[in-house]
Structure 1
């Protein structure tokens, strides 16, 4: 885990390597423990069920983070998942229009997003 601050936002960057993440509990604890308001998670660390919206993993995961008034950025290439699911593609598009959940290519894209305020 790495802590950073960009555009006045304190960010917890989840490590690229480690076990798959299927619940929000641990990442929320890390964010609160480091007084961060945004959690950046590598897409490859998420349980593959996250990208199958009918599994409800993404909905429960993201709702819990939002309930704790945190933001989350899923970083990485999710094109293969998007190609398999129009519903996921729509969900990602809608999420990226908002302020709480973003699906972005990389840390540079996150920095750019936060710079816009």
Structure 2
């Protein structure tokens, strides 16, 4: 795993680069947040395929646990990928609601995700 910092003015986003799953459970998510914070960054971008599929199965509660921790520690996150293949109304509603806020984004492209994260001034 590599962390690449994308900076626009004073806004910094940690772009996570890895071919493997980076978040498989809550502890992985906390470790990743600590690594990003070590770089003095409070926003990160991940690809959907870097997160275990359990995250997108809301009944596992993994998404809720992780995103609650990230919210508590004021870490903003954007997840990039194609989410159209999920037929879960609750997941689609969850994604829609997240995209209305300023802490968690689900975007189709890295450019959309970076734009959303850089617009947020903490």
Is the structural similarity TM-score above 0.5?
A: yes
Q: Deviations over 1:69-108 (max 9, x none)?
A: 1101011112112xx2000000000000000000011221
Paired residue for 1:63, among 44, 68, 91?
68
* Divergent runs of 4+, >6 A: none
How far is the alpha carbon of 1:49 from its aligned partner? 0.5
- The alignment's TM-score, normalised by the length of structure 1, stands at 0.88
Please list every run of 5 or more consecutive structure 2 residues that lacks an aligned counterpart in the other structure: none
- CA offsets, 1:20-42, max 9 Å, x none? 41221122112111111101111
Cα distance, 1:9 vs structure 2 = 2.1
Matching of residues 64-103 of structure 1 within 5 Å: 64-81=69-86, 84-103=87-106
- SS of the residue 1:18 aligns to: coil
- Per the TM alignment, residue 116 of structure 1 is displaced from its structure 2 partner at its CA by 4.6
Could you list the runs of 5+ residues in structure 1 that have no partner in the other structure? Answer: none
| RMSD, aligned CA | 1.6
Could you tell me how far apart the structure 2 residues matched to 1:72 and 1:111 are? 10
| Match of residue 29 from structure 1 | 34
**Residue 2 of structure 1 aligns with which residue?**
4
The alignment's TM-score, normalised by the length of structure 2, stands at 0.85
**8 Å contact kept, 1:42–1:76:** yes
